[in-house]
Structures are given as C-alpha cells and as structure tokens.
Structure 1
Amino acid sequence: MKPLFAVMPALSFSVVIGFGASTVAMAAGVSFQENTLPSSTSLPNISPTNSALANRGAYVARTADCMACHRDDYSGGVPIETPIGNIYSTNITPSTRYGIGNYTEAYFKKALRKGRAPNHQLYPTMPYPSYHGMTDEDISALFAYFQTVAIVDKPPEKTTHLPFPLNIRSLMLAWNVINVPSTENRSGLTETQQRGEYLVNNLEHCGTCHTPRNLTQGLDKDRYLSGAPLGKWFAPNITPDNDTGIGLWSEMDIVTYLRTGTLNKRAYAGGPMAEAVAHSTRYLTDEDLIAMADYLKVVPAIKTDDYLIPVNVSRLPQPVSNSITYDLLEQKDYLAHAKTNIANSSNNSGLNSNSPKDLYLIHCASCHGVDGYAQPDARYASIVGLSSIRRVKPDALIGVIAFGAKGAFNTAPKMPGFSKDLSPRQIASITNHVRVTFGGLPSSDVSAADVTRVIKEKS
C-alpha cells in the first residue's frame, strides 16, 4: 500500500543499497582508522555576519534536510507525490506576505512539532511526526537561521489543491492523536547511539521514507525502517538484517555512503536518496555520521521478502582496459562499430530483433560503459555489482530503466527514462542483461508483463 501522506522526498537509501563488508570492530562507541573518513563538505550557508545561534541553525537545517522539499532558496513549490495527488511545499523564507516572516518562535515550534501553522493544519508531508522530537535548542537555532535567509517575496508557482474531503485540514488533528510522535526513544543506548537515534528518527526523519505505513497511513512501528514504496522509487530495508537489509554493511560503509552517495561495486544513491545526500548528509560532521551509523547497526533487524542475491564476484566483468574505465571517449569507436554491426544485422534480417546486449550497447553503454564501469570521475555511475540489480524483486531496477534517475550531486548527469522510447519487452531484455552481466546472477527471467506491471503501478 502506498503511503497516503508520505513522503518528503528526502531520506531513502534509494534502490541501490547492497551487500557490505564485515562490521568494523568498535570500542567505546565507534572509532575508525585514521584517514579513512571521506572529506566533509563545508556548509555554504554559514556566514560570519550571522550570530553563532543562526549559524548553528544553518547546520540544523541541513540535518533536517529542509532544502530537499523547499528548494535551495526555501521558496517552496516542490511537488510531493502522494496517492491522493501532489502536495506542494510552501515558501519558508522570512517573507511576511508569502512565507513565515510573521511567525513567532512559539508558532514556529508548533509547526515543527504539531504540524500547526497559525491559520491552518499542515499535511504530514511536512514530517512533523518526526520533528515532534526536536529539542528546544535546535528549534531556536533553526528559527534564528530562517530570519537570516534571503526573502523570496512571492508565492510558490504551484500550491496544494486536494479534493473534498481531503482538503479539510482539520481532519489531521485526529490523525495526529494516533500517529504523533512517529517514534519512541529506546533505553540502553550509548551516548553516541542516542545522538544517532535523534538524527535518524527526528532530524533526518529516515523512517518517513523507509518505514511502511499502517492502516491510518502513519508509520508502522513494528516494521520500522524495513522498506516502503516511495512514488516511482522504493526505499529499501535499512535495518541490520544480513539478507534483506544492511546487516553486512560496516559502520564505515554507512558513513561513506551518506557522505558520498556511493560505494564501489555496491551502491549508488539515486532519486530521493540522491537529494538527501546532496542537500543534507554530505554536510554532516564526522561525529554525526558515525552516530547515525552506530545507531543503524543496533535497530531491530527485520527480514523482508526482498532479499539480496549474493554476489558471485567471479562472474562480474573485468574492465575492458585500465583506462577505458575512466575515459568513455575511448569507447566511442567500440560503440560506433557495435552499433553499425547491430544496424547491419537488423537490415539484413529485415527485423529489429536486437539482442539484450545490443539493446544495452545502443541505449546504455555510452554512459555506463561497455563493461559497466562507466566514468566515475565524471559522475557517470558504475553499475557493476550494485545491489539494485541483485535483489530478488527486479522492480527497483525496472523502475530506474523506465523512469530514469537523478544523481546525488548537481554535476552528476541525470539518467533518462526509457518507458516512452522502448517497449516493455526491450526494457525486460535490458534488465535481464544487466542483472546477469553486471550483477553476476546466473540467470534472470524478467518479462514484458513484469515491466508493464511496474510502469502501471508507478505511473
């Protein structure tokens, strides 16, 4: 069942979470070897002219992932997909006419914790069920920061218009009684894990995307972080289950993924998770990422039916050459020759019966490389070994091929979708080729009917 009011397109480990290395040994919280942490990115919205409180609030805004929904300038208008229609984010700049310029700190706190604006109730696409647990100190800092952002004195290009009776916002008051707060604090955690719990459950609100919904469309706490549908995406299981979650990821793996959006031959952040990395997690301090990783390793493990097929490393392709991995230009002649042969073969047979490999070379190899290793330095994604192509359910991979994907950073090329250009049979052929050739699977039997079903469900 798709969530009724989810989801702020923020935290989803995308469709690419995969197998990990053995857990790094931890003592007294967590610690890593020197020089192993990926470099953090400095906050662009810190200003020496602002108060220390406001600059602290700039960091809180990053940890709360405000930009993913409200845009880089906080002007709003971002569509948030729900089964009942799009809900559009609002202007949260200090504009007195169109934004939150008239908010007092008390009203600001009420909006964050209870979803209550001065004149109306908010929909839970604003993740106040998670923000309910924010500390007074973080709310005060965030409020101080929003007084310093540039005013955008105009309304969002689009605003929310839901049909009756869903447009009666006061109905949310009854919903809140059942579903707020969305999580409860656990006992027995270390100080580091407590900080991680606060970040995962409240500020970063990971459960908003990764937790299935109950009958009232609140978070199903019994299946916390075990994966949930997310529009055209699926936010996978991020509990420490070895077969279906991230149990085989080390804390270092989690930190690296949240910082960079990628793990070699394992994971690549796309879609909503790409937005989360780009706007939020890459800016977090080492200590906060370590805290999140430490907490995610101790949440209750939940096994689902969408398990990962173990990778057979011996079946994974080797780079065509040492340099071709990094220079797609070297592959131009190879691809041109292959496409000529494909065209000649089709013309001679009088049929357009391209093989799965032909379809991959024609439509995918110019970005992902003839060997699947792409050009990471130019942010073209290597797809060799990714878990999204090794899940027993191929829906996530089908969705990416059909609808495309956005990378974690603005400089990353956006993958186009092929649902309009290729038939379900052709998409199924590419899916099977990718799973076998680059996922190391012994076989794959995705059918045109599978593709048709996924496209229908996610359109």
Structure 2
Amino acid sequence: MQPTSIRLSASVLGLLLSLVSTAAFADSEPTVGTLSPISLPNVSPANSDLANRGAYVARTADCMACHREDYSGGVAIETPIGNIYSTNITPSRRYGIGNYTEADLKKALQKGRSPEHQIYPAMPYPSYHGMSDDDISALFAYFQTVPPVEEPPEKTTKLPFPLNIRTLMLAWNVINVPSTENRTGLTPVQQRGEYLVNNTEHCGTCHTPRNLTQGLDKDRYLSGAPLGKWFAPNITPDNNTGIGRWSEDDIVTYLRTGKLDKRAYAGGPMAEAVAHSTRYLTDADLSAMAAYLKVVPVIKTDDYLIPLNTARLPNPISSSITYDLIEQEKYISQAKANSVTNASINSINSPKALYLTHCVSCHGVDGYAQPDARYASIVGLSSIRRAKPDALVNVIGFGAKGALNTAPKMPGFEKDLTHAQIASIANYVRVNFGGLATSTVTESDVKNIMK
C-alpha cells in the first residue's frame, strides 16, 4: 500500500514538478483555515461508524496509490529486485482478502505475513508495524464494505530464483522491522504527527535512504532518497537542503494542494500521495504532521537549494496573457519569429528556440503558464533551483503526472530530444525562471542522470 514511487503540446516542464519540494522562500500561501479537506469517498450512512473511520484510515495509509481506488491491485511497484505487483485486497473470497480474519489483517500489516506466505516489503509493513490495533480494527471493518472485485490482477509477481523464496523475508524482517522508533519528549500533537509520518503515511519509505539490505537507513532518516526516475528530497528541517524554511502552514498547504507558489509542485510519486491520501486528511492531522516534521533531527545533504533571487525572476508579460489565448498565441508567434530567424542548426537548437518549441504552449513565454487550465507555473520552483539538476532533467526526460486528475500530464521528451537539447532547456529554465545567475548542465550530465 504505497506510492508507485517505491516501485521502486504539453510542455517540457509540465512541471518540473516533481519533486516534492524543498526549502521555502517566496510568496505566502492561504492560511490553513481556508483549505478544507476534500470530501472523503467511500463513507456511507449505511456503514457503521467503525467502518467509516476505517475509510479514513485507508486514506491515511495511502492504500489506493498501490492497490487502485477500487482495491483491485495489479499496479507495478518498481524495486531493486524487480517489479512487484500489488494484490487484490477487496473482500473477494477467491481473489482478494475475503477470507481474512481481523487477526490475519493485523499480521499482514504489522508482520508482513499473509495466511499463505511472507509478503514482500514493497508493501510497507516495516512502517505499518506501528499501526494501532484500533486503526487496524477500523480498517478491517471498512474492507468488509468494499465492493468485491471477482477477478485477479492482470499481472502477478514473478521474481527469479532465489528472490522468489519468500521465507528469506524472515531474516530481512529481523534486521529491518520496525523501520522507525518512537521518540520521547514530544507533545501530544507531535506524537500524532509522528504516528502519521512514520507509520500510516510511511513517509520514510520514499524519503529515507536505504541500507545495504534495502531496509531504511535510520541514521539518515527523511534526508532524501533516489526512487528510480525520481528523487524524494530531504524533508528534515535543514534550512538549505531540507524544508527548514517552510512554516507549518506551508507544509499543510503543500500536503493539501500539492503546491506552494514559487516553491514546489508535487509530481510523480508525491503527486500520488497527495491525490490518494493527504488531500483527504483533516486539518488537525495535517497540522500534526507539520508539527512533527519541524522537530525531526536536522540532516544536511550535498543537494542544497540555491536561494531564490526574486530580482532575477521574470515579470508576467501582461496581466491577461495567462488566460487570453489569442494574446498568448500572438506573442508566442512573434517570439518564435524573433528567436529563429533562419534555418541554421544553431538557431533551431538555441535554448530559447527549444523552449519555445517544446514548452511554451503550456508554461508560457514568461513561465507563468495557464493556471486556470491547471498548467503549472514554473517560476521560482525549488526543483529548478537545486544544486543538482537531476529532478529537472528527469521531469523533462520522463514526464510527470500532477496531484489532481484535472491537471494535465507532463509528457516525457526522452525520445524526442537529444541529451544536449535537454541540457539546453534545463539551463534556460534554471536561469530564466529559477533566477540562477548561471547554469552549466551538460550533455554528459543529462546522459548520466537519465541512466
């Protein structure tokens, strides 16, 4: 039950989105009180209070990101040992967990053991190990109300020998379960936040680096980790490499909406977490998570955030161009004409010409995009201001999906652009929309990052 991240013309930056973010500078956001939770699906007056509470627990545990909104499973979870496919967890007796007792569900969540075999830790039971009995009881009651899906997932897990020997997980569990330990000296609100961050939301599953056994490295807790084509950033309260400059309200806003103006925009795995889970949480629970994240041990990494220089950011071309498509089309046509004055290869492949060809229709000449159409503004985003350009390069190359279904999907340009062209666009964006004085991403950098 975890984001597909661990698994383990639109435009080139459909949002440089990715990346869950990092240090905050810039404009203020709406206060928490103005951001009410999305109405929770699957809550019915016909169900018991316990089952309806279980529907909320399922959201806090982000079960849907892996098992789909109907819990039918079949989602590929990329891991270092190969793809592991999520299972059907509807109450189907033949294909799902309809034969589970509450004790069976508890053992699966806390011990990684189904009635038939050991479970691979792609299902984050090292984090769910700390789930309370009350939450598991509510979750069990809720799953009895879910419509059964009477068919198996299209794909099932088939790992090569000896990785297909599930009993090997018993030794792994001894080393790596539980994935975290409770701290002392926390307030009741921070304790609730710790429970959500460490256990149900299992944030460390993405944001904590792995040790040699592929368990979570507790000494580098929440300091950022690679996730295939993605990188989950440092979310400890370090000012320069983490989210130390974010206020608690900033954290709540980001978890509720998936964005912070001129700072961060959730894409990829984090978009899934927002879409399926955090946007449904109560203000109290999001505030508790924020309170806890502000007091976790600070860890400084080498991927620091270059401070935002607002004086170097572009001004909007006009007050109407983000929504006036006729004005936008005229301006883009003139900009292209001015940029590409002949057919020479240098003009065609100039950074500005590449941006105008592949990115401008969504993100605009000035980078402020079309917010009314949910195309993302890329001005000032932290993902284009990091010392390491990996996040930006991977989004340009592989694309990204935003946090809400109504947001356009960012296409990947891996097959349409050369490594040199991606490097040119990355440099253009970092300087013109990130406010950097210079950017020196090379063709070789792009090749290495995208591998």
Normalising by structure 1, what TM-score?
A: 0.92
Residue in structure 2 matched with residue 395 of structure 1 by the alignment: 390
Q: Does the aligned pair in 1 maintain the 2:91–2:144 contact within 8 Å?
A: yes
Q: In structure 1, what residue type is equivalent to 2:115? A: P
Q: How does 1:345-384 map to 2 (within 5 A)?
A: 345-346=342-343, 349=344, 353-384=348-379
Q: In structure 2, what residue type is equivalent to 1:414? A: K
Residue in structure 2 matched with residue 188 of structure 1 by the alignment: 185
Q: Classify 1:137/1:328 alpha carbon distance in 2 versus 1 (closer, same or farther; 3 Å).
A: farther
Quote the Cα distance in structure 1 between the aligned partners of 2:339 and 2:399.
24
Quote the Cα distance in structure 2 between the aligned partners of 1:328 and 1:268.
24
Q: In structure 2, what residue type is equivalent to 1:160? A: T
Partner-residue secondary structure (3-state), 2:89: coil
Q: In structure 2, what residue type is equivalent to 1:446? A: V
Indicate yes or no: 2:1 matched with 1:15. no
Q: Does the aligned pair in 1 maintain the 2:5–2:206 contact within 8 Å?
A: yes
Q: How does 1:48-197 map to 2 (within 5 A)?
A: 48-197=45-194
Q: Classify 1:297/1:39 alpha carbon distance in 2 versus 1 (closer, same or farther; 3 Å).
A: same
Structure 1 residue 370: deviation in Å? 0.9
Quote the Cα distance in structure 2 between the aligned partners of 1:78 and 1:202.
22
Residue in structure 1 matched with residue 423 of structure 2 by the alignment: 428
Quote the Cα distance in structure 1 between the aligned partners of 2:371 and 2:109.
39
Residue in structure 2 matched with residue 29 of structure 1 by the alignment: none
Structure 1 vs Structure 2 CA RMSD: 1.9
Quote the Cα distance in structure 1 between the aligned partners of 2:301 and 2:345.
47
Quote the Cα distance in structure 2 between the aligned partners of 1:338 and 1:57.
54
Partner-residue secondary structure (3-state), 1:109: helix
Q: Does the aligned pair in 1 maintain the 2:244–2:294 contact within 8 Å?
A: yes
One of 420, 435, 440 as aligned partner of 1:440: 435
Residue in structure 2 matched with residue 295 of structure 1 by the alignment: 292
Partner-residue secondary structure (3-state), 2:59: helix
Residue in structure 1 matched with residue 14 of structure 2 by the alignment: none
Q: Classify 1:356/1:33 alpha carbon distance in 2 versus 1 (closer, same or farther; 3 Å).
A: closer
Q: In structure 1, what residue type is equivalent to 2:352? A: K
Quote the Cα distance in structure 2 between the aligned partners of 1:7 and 1:399.
16
Q: Report % sequence identity.
A: 76
Q: How does 1:222-233 map to 2 (within 5 A)?
A: 222-233=219-230
Number of positions where the alignment pairs a residue of Structure 1 with one of Structure 2: 439
Q: In structure 2, what residue type is equivalent to 1:164? A: F
Q: In structure 1, what residue type is equivalent to 2:87? A: T
Q: Does the aligned pair in 2 maintain the 1:313–1:440 contact within 8 Å?
A: yes
Structure 1 residue 88: deviation in Å? 0.6
Q: In structure 2, what residue type is equivalent to 1:357? A: K
Residue in structure 2 matched with residue 264 of structure 1 by the alignment: 261
- Please list the CA deviations of residues 230-265 of structure 1 after superposition, one character each: whole Å capped at 9, or x if unmatched: 111000000000010000000000000000000000
Partner-residue secondary structure (3-state), 1:234: strand
Q: In structure 2, what residue type is equivalent to 1:411? A: T
Q: In structure 2, what residue type is equivalent to 1:375? A: Q
Q: Does the aligned pair in 2 maintain the 1:328–1:369 contact within 8 Å?
A: no
Structure 1 residue 376: deviation in Å? 1.7
Structure 1 residue 112: deviation in Å? 0.3
- Please list the CA deviations of residues 64-122 of structure 1 after superposition, one character each: whole Å capped at 9, or x if unmatched: 00000000110000011112211110000001011000001000100000110111110
Partner-residue secondary structure (3-state), 1:345: coil
Structure 1 residue 455: deviation in Å? 1.5
Quote the Cα distance in structure 1 between the aligned partners of 2:128 and 2:70.
21
Q: Classify 1:238/1:454 alpha carbon distance in 2 versus 1 (closer, same or farther; 3 Å).
A: same
Quote the Cα distance in structure 2 between the aligned partners of 1:275 and 1:16.
11
Q: Does the aligned pair in 2 maintain the 1:390–1:435 contact within 8 Å?
A: yes
Quote the Cα distance in structure 2 between the aligned partners of 1:232 and 1:98.
32
Q: Which runs of 5+ in 1 are unaligned?
A: 25-31
Q: Does the aligned pair in 2 maintain the 1:16–1:387 contact within 8 Å?
A: no
Structure 1 residue 19: deviation in Å? 2.7
Q: Classify 1:375/1:33 alpha carbon distance in 2 versus 1 (closer, same or farther; 3 Å).
A: closer
Quote the Cα distance in structure 1 between the aligned partners of 2:25 and 2:80.
37
Q: Does the aligned pair in 2 maintain the 1:76–1:92 contact within 8 Å?
A: yes
Residue in structure 1 matched with residue 414 of structure 2 by the alignment: 419
Q: Does the aligned pair in 1 maintain the 2:23–2:241 contact within 8 Å?
A: no
- Point out 4+ residue stretches in structure 1 off by more than 6 angstroms: 32-35
One of 307, 313, 322 as aligned partner of 2:304: 307
Q: Classify 1:307/1:51 alpha carbon distance in 2 versus 1 (closer, same or farther; 3 Å).
A: same
- Please list the CA deviations of residues 409-458 of structure 1 after superposition, one character each: whole Å capped at 9, or x if unmatched: 111100000010001110000000000000000000000011111122xx
Q: Does the aligned pair in 1 maintain the 2:322–2:328 contact within 8 Å?
A: no
Q: Does the aligned pair in 2 maintain the 1:6–1:124 contact within 8 Å?
A: no
Partner-residue secondary structure (3-state), 2:178: coil
Q: Does the aligned pair in 1 maintain the 2:226–2:232 contact within 8 Å?
A: yes
Indicate yes or no: 2:444 matched with 1:449. yes
Q: Which runs of 5+ in 2 are unaligned?
A: 9-16
Quote the Cα distance in structure 2 between the aligned partners of 1:253 and 1:48.
34
One of 327, 335, 340 as aligned partner of 1:338: 335
Quote the Cα distance in structure 1 between the aligned partners of 2:247 and 2:334.
43
- Please list the CA deviations of residues 138-188 of structure 1 after superposition, one character each: whole Å capped at 9, or x if unmatched: 000001001101111000011111111001011000000010000000000
One of 275, 279, 295 as aligned partner of 1:278: 275
Normalising by structure 2, what TM-score?
A: 0.94
Q: Classify 1:14/1:339 alpha carbon distance in 2 versus 1 (closer, same or farther; 3 Å).
A: closer
Quote the Cα distance in structure 1 between the aligned partners of 2:152 and 2:335.
52
Quote the Cα distance in structure 2 between the aligned partners of 1:6 and 1:271.
7
- Please list the CA deviations of residues 346-387 of structure 1 after superposition, one character each: whole Å capped at 9, or x if unmatched: 2xx366642101111110010011110111222111100000
Q: In structure 1, what residue type is equivalent to 2:313? A: L
Structure 1 residue 16: deviation in Å? 4.3
Structure 1 residue 37: deviation in Å? 3.9
Residue in structure 2 matched with residue 235 of structure 1 by the alignment: 232
Q: In structure 2, what residue type is equivalent to 1:358? A: A
